[in-house]
Amino acid sequence: MSPHLSLQRAEAEARRALLDVTSYDVTLDLASDEATFRSVTRVRFTSRGGATFVDLKPQAVASIHLNGEPLDVDLLERGRLTIDTRAGQNELVVDATMRFRNDGEGLHRSVDPADGRHYVYGMSFMDAAPSIFACFDQPDLKAPYTFHVTAPADWHVFGNAAGEQVEPGRWEFEESAPLSTYFVTLVAGPYHLIEDTHDGIPLGVSSRASIAADLERDADDILTVTRQSFDEFHRLFGIRYPFGKYHQAFVPEFNAGAMENPGCVTFRDPLVFTSRVTRGVRIQRATTIAHEMAHQWFGNLVTPVWWDDLWLNESFAEYLGNRVTADVTEYSDTWADMSYARRQWGLVADQAPSSHSVAGNGAKDAVSALQNFDGISYTKGSAILRQLCSSVGDGVFFDGVIDHFTRHRFGNATLHDLIGSWERAGAGDLSGFTQEWLLTAGPDRIELDRAAGVLRRTPPAGHEADRAHSFRVAIASGGSWRTETVTLDSAETAYAPEGDAVLLDPYDDTWAVTVPDPATIAALPSLLPAIEDAHLRAGVWNGLRNAFHNAAVSPADVVDIAVASFPVEDTEDHNRRTRTWLFSRVLPLAPVGSSERLHEAVLGKLATLPAGTEWQLAGFRAAVATSTDTARLREWLATPPAGIELDRDLRWRVLVRLASLGAVERAELQAAFDDDPAAEARVELTRALCSLPDREAKEYAWSVFTGETDLPNYEVTAAGAGLWRGGQEELTAPYVDRYFAELPGTEKVRSGWVLADAAEAFFPATSISEATLAKASVLAEDPDLDGPLRRRLVDAADALRRQLAVKAAFPA
């Protein structure tokens, strides 16, 4: 049983009907102890009179006073303090001791291994605010905040509002605009600070002192994208940024990409580049900056009433963050890169048993709502908004948005409020659009049946829909490509294009699973190498991934296409992108010798790439990831190819690969870290130690999973990745049963984000068997299993089920 109760929607509605919060005044002492901090909260609110509860997750409570009268601290139970309010004005004062956390939630404190300095940041999102201060923790009880902070004298302290150090170590902050509890943050530590202004807005960026030189090098790009994005959002919305200053804090061990806290946006600090990166990562940073800025209007100025409308935050920020980046920054190729980076995240989520609608997603409580911050809420919602904007035009689209902001400024709103604003702006009746696209889960599947001469549209099972699709088709004839637009508004539409290959919706015009026909798949090995259009190439790979996910293309065919034209243009190899998919999903099911063929193809491609280019960097990474030649890896560790600098990132990629092959000793790994004790290196050291093919390594990884070894969040997921290495199945076999036996107990050592991430990271990914699927299915039916654990287990089991379907359809 979780030690804290999750807020139910019905409880939130009852509390909102009872209360209006006037203000929060919070005093924090961050200087007295490295493990805990004192938190004194003064909440003023009006009530209709009656009993309710305050959210509070302390280590200890010194005193509680309601309207001047002391309350029994034992009234606090499972994170809730029951209070009996009087009609009219009330004041609650809570003096508590809180725990610093290391899981990226609440007030997270970390130690930089590079210099031993301590850093703190606040992440109040979802249900973490009560571990910082006492509050009514729900999105529709907004109030202004005033903070008073004591910190070590050499620290900077940043918050949602402007603040100043009034004497050494004591900081006073102005009252903020009205905020939901989940936006409240504090960033404190010996941060390196860069300041600027733009259009009257004070700007700041900060990072750990040990990466100050890297921040200085990146600051021009970060601030340029920031200025350009502000100008474009002001143009699109006609409403100025409403929260005063705009600070962007790059903080350590952050779970998400970023968090849109008004006035003080927090980003994961790997987005300050300490090693050479590809354009894909620079696009990721630019779109993240624009995404979080879009939130200042979508989410911060106007906030959803409840988490079933989280798409009012994320879908809009995803669409407008990508659009603004593509339109006004140097990253005009953003949409093609996003096709690689995000398209499959959304489509896979939308085909899973856990699929949900974009809006009205059924989030009954706060903890379960966290699991719906997924590819549906981001990528699918963004795609649907892009379709709507294309249909009604920018004028109507943004007139409706501006009406929405104006009517609900600093308040809360729902899907129906926004739809009403669009209809008033001239969009017409949107009830059909709302029902088919926003309230019905799952994607249509669209295929070309050449023999019948039809395009066939199949709605998702159990989620009947009648959606019309309009999209471009790319057709290859004699080696040249042409495009034409088709509209599909019935189950079957006559369509008989003449061509060697026919790619449906390669430019992401609609939201559907488009599967290439057999003739197209057969033609791709000869056609793909000559395609120079980056988005068209992304469309090829997305079509193949759709087909593989649905057991409609063989692993052998996918390998043949990759050998013919390895997707080095998808420069990144993060979990959602093409190369990682090839290595982790396709190769385990491909014919014997496929790994060697793919590695040789990578080496061949690498030899043709100009030295010093990001494609060469991407190719070298792929060569390292697929190599089984330990002598060559050692050569690269000593002397990389011309044009490649063996920086920290590449050095650890080679060391981790050597570790997975059993070709490096622990002492060498430790020595590499000791020579360069950076935060990123510490994560990779954990990954390497858990990747070693011996019992000691796997037992260590397992101790991280169970919580016996307490590591910060990034290292927890790295340990899971290291545990399940291909080729080590005999060694890891005992941990398959242990995973299913011990997963439920992890809720006693973790919560929130990291609880779910660890469940996913430690799922036995290399045990592709019916027996493993059966174990996963049984545990997923356990009614006592924690909700976030069940969600990740169900999704991992679905991925395994689909791999087994491919295995059955195309035996290697």
Region 455-467 average pLDDT: 92
> Of 56, 197, 215, nearest to 137 (Cα)?
56
Final residue belonging to a domain, choices 163, 189, 215: 189
Give the model confidence (pLDDT) of 53-73 as tens digits: 999 999 999 999 999 999 999
Give the confidence band of 371 by pLDDT, cuts at 50, 70, 90.
confident
Q: What pLDDT, on a 0 to 100 scale, did the predictor assign at position 296? A: 98
Q: Residue 299 falls within a domain, yes or no?
A: no
Type of residue at 36? T
Q: Residue 231 falls within a domain, yes or no?
A: no
Region 89-99 average pLDDT: 98
Task: Give the angle subtended at the CA of 249 by the CAs of 247 and 254, to the nearest 5°.
Answer: 145
* Interatomic CA distance for residues 257 and 266, integer angstroms: 9
Q: Give the three-class secondary structure for 401.
A: helix
Give the model confidence (pLDDT) of 315-337 as tens digits: 999 999 999 999 999 999 999 99
The CATH code of the domain that includes 801 is 1.25.10
Q: How many domains does the chain have?
A: 3
Give the model confidence (pLDDT) of 775-789 as tens digits: 999 999 999 998 889
Q: Residue 518 falls within a domain, yes or no?
A: no
Region 344-350 average pLDDT: 97
Q: What pLDDT, on a 0 to 100 scale, did the predictor assign at position 368? A: 75
Give the β-pairing of 118-123 and 186-189.
antiparallel
Helices (H), 661-769: 666-675, 679-691, 695-706, 713-723, 729-732, 734-742, 752-761
CA 400 to chain centre: 28
**Other CB atoms within 10 A of residue 44 CB:** 15
**Is residue 79's pLDDT more than 70?**
yes
Give the model confidence (pLDDT) of 273-329 as tens digits: 999 999 999 999 999 999 999 999 999 999 999 998 989 999 999 999 999 999 999
Residue 510 near residue 545, CB atoms below 8 Å: no
Q: What pLDDT, on a 0 to 100 scale, did the predictor assign at position 372? A: 77
Length of the chain (residues): 812
Give the model confidence (pLDDT) of 523-557 as tens digits: 999 999 999 999 999 999 999 999 999 999 999 99
Q: What pLDDT, on a 0 to 100 scale, did the predictor assign at position 360? A: 84
Q: Residue 265 falls within a domain, yes or no?
A: no
**Is residue 1's pLDDT more than 60?**
no
* Interatomic CA distance for residues 567 and 541, integer angstroms: 8
Give the β-pairing of 145-150 and 170-173.
antiparallel
Distances in whole angstroms, Cα of residue 572 to Cα of each of 271, 317, 343, 721: 14, 22, 14, 18
* Interatomic CA distance for residues 464 and 462, integer angstroms: 6
* Interatomic CA distance for residues 138 and 142, integer angstroms: 8
Final residue belonging to a domain, choices 189, 219, 252: 189
**Is residue 4's pLDDT more than 90?**
no
* Interatomic CA distance for residues 314 and 231, integer angstroms: 21
User: Which two three-digit tokens encode residue 83?
Assistant: 């209070």
**Is residue 367's pLDDT more than 90?**
no
Question: Which range, of 454-458, 573-577, 740-744, averages the lowest pLDDT?
Answer: 573-577
Catalytic residues: 292
Q: What pLDDT, on a 0 to 100 scale, did the predictor assign at position 401? A: 98
Distances in whole angstroms, Cα of residue 731 to Cα of each of 270, 628, 695, 705, 728: 33, 18, 7, 17, 5
Q: Residue 287 falls within a domain, yes or no?
A: no
Residue 302 near residue 405, CB atoms below 8 Å: yes
* Interatomic CA distance for residues 230 and 232, integer angstroms: 5
Place of tokens 């960097």: 617
Q: What pLDDT, on a 0 to 100 scale, did the predictor assign at position 2? A: 60
Q: Residue 298 falls within a domain, yes or no?
A: no
Place of tokens 């019948």: 452
Give the confidence band of 701 by pLDDT, cuts at 50, 70, 90.
very high
Helices (H), 352-460: 366-370, 375, 381-407, 415-422, 431-433
Q: CA-based Rg of the chain, rounded to a whole angstrom?
A: 27
Q: Residue 317 falls within a domain, yes or no?
A: no
Distances in whole angstroms, Cα of residue 401 to Cα of each of 322, 484, 633, 795: 17, 32, 54, 34
Give the confidence band of 98 by pLDDT, cuts at 50, 70, 90.
very high
The CATH code of the domain that includes 8 is 2.60.40.1730
Element (H, E) at 120: strand 118-123
* Interatomic CA distance for residues 504 and 603, integer angstroms: 31
Place of tokens 């079957």: 492
User: Which two three-digit tokens encode residue 775?
Assistant: 């174990």
Q: What pLDDT, on a 0 to 100 scale, did the predictor assign at position 109? A: 97
Q: Residue 303 falls within a domain, yes or no?
A: no
Q: What pLDDT, on a 0 to 100 scale, did the predictor assign at position 126? A: 83
Report the percent of the chain where pLDDT is more than 70: 100
For residue 24, the enclosing domain spans 1-189
Q: Indicate the pTM of the whole model.
A: 0.97
As beta bridge partners, residue 458 has 445
Helices (H), 408-533: 415-422, 431-433, 518-527
E strands, 132-242, are 145-150, 156-159, 163-167, 170-173, 186-189, 192-198, 201-207
The CATH code of the domain that includes 372 is 1.10.390.10
- Using H for helix, E for strand and C for coil, what is the string for 31-69? CCCCCEEEEEEEEEEEECCEEEEEECCCCEEEEEEECCE
Final residue belonging to a domain, choices 136, 156, 189: 189
Element (H, E) at 615: helix 614-626
Region 661-673 average pLDDT: 98
Give the confidence band of 641 by pLDDT, cuts at 50, 70, 90.
very high
